[in-house]
């Protein structure tokens, strides 16, 4: 099993090299795949990794999935929140309904994907930008990043790294959090896993 350090070093080398013509996509999208059991270790290493990327000449811009979800849910209208609270009081253990309500808000107008797209467009203004997408575990159980990546095809104009908790099951197949069905729709370069 590879170490997080060696996988991160390999990722940095691949970013420097750029995508090859043999890849499914030429966009500079990379996944650092690590075991879900290593989520805390990755969070601890992130500061050192940010410093290493900065030393390599990148201006790293972090997009936190958890912070974006929180931002979207904080913008929910007060009337909707009151309805949610009333429903929760009637049936506090109806987790399917709760999750579906949250999914509806997060997907409304593809808000999460649109926020990431706007972030990528802003990052394009800096020729040395590198986007680091973190906290992907916060997407569970709402959606998976592969769907979002596919919806943004053609929009990745700066190197973009996803810190992906899951497992690799082939060159292009990943299992989010290690228990979702494998998904082979990724058009990105994968390291680790």
| pTM given for the model | 0.85
Domains and CATH numbers, the chain: 4-192 (3.40.50)
pLDDT tens digits for the chain (193 residues)? Answer: 469 999 999 999 999 887 544 445 578 889 899 999 999 999 999 999 999 999 999 999 999 999 998 998 888 888 888 887 888 888 878 778 777 777 777 777 688 889 999 999 999 999 999 999 999 998 888 887 888 888 888 899 999 999 989 888 877 777 777 776 677 666 777 888 7
Closest residue by Cα to residue 135 from 71, 89, 187? 71
């Amino acid at each position: 099993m590879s170490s997080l350090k060696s996988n991160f070093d390999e990722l940095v080398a691949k970013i420097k090299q750029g995508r090859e013509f043999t890849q499914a996509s030429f966009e500079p999208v990379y996944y650092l795949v690590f075991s879900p059991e290593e989520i805390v270790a990755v969070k601890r290493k992130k500061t050192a990794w940010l410093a290493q990327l900065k030393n390599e000449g990148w201006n790293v811009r972090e997009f936190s999935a958890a912070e974006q979800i929180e931002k979207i849910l904080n913008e929910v209208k007060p009337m909707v929140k009151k309805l949610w609270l009333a429903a929760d009081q009637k049936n506090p253990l109806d987790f399917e309904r709760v999750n579906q309500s949250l999914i509806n808000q997060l997907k409304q107008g593809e808000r999460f994907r649109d926020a990431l797209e706007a972030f990528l467009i802003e990052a394009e203004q800096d020729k040395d930008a590198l986007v680091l997408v973190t906290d992907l575990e916060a997407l569970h159980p709402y959606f998976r990043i592969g769907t979002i990546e596919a919806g943004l095809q053609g929009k990745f104009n700066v190197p973009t790294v996803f810190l992906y908790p899951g497992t690799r099951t082939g060159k292009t197949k990943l299992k989010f959090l290690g228990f979702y069905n494998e998904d082979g729709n990724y058009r990105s370069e994968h390291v680790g896993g």
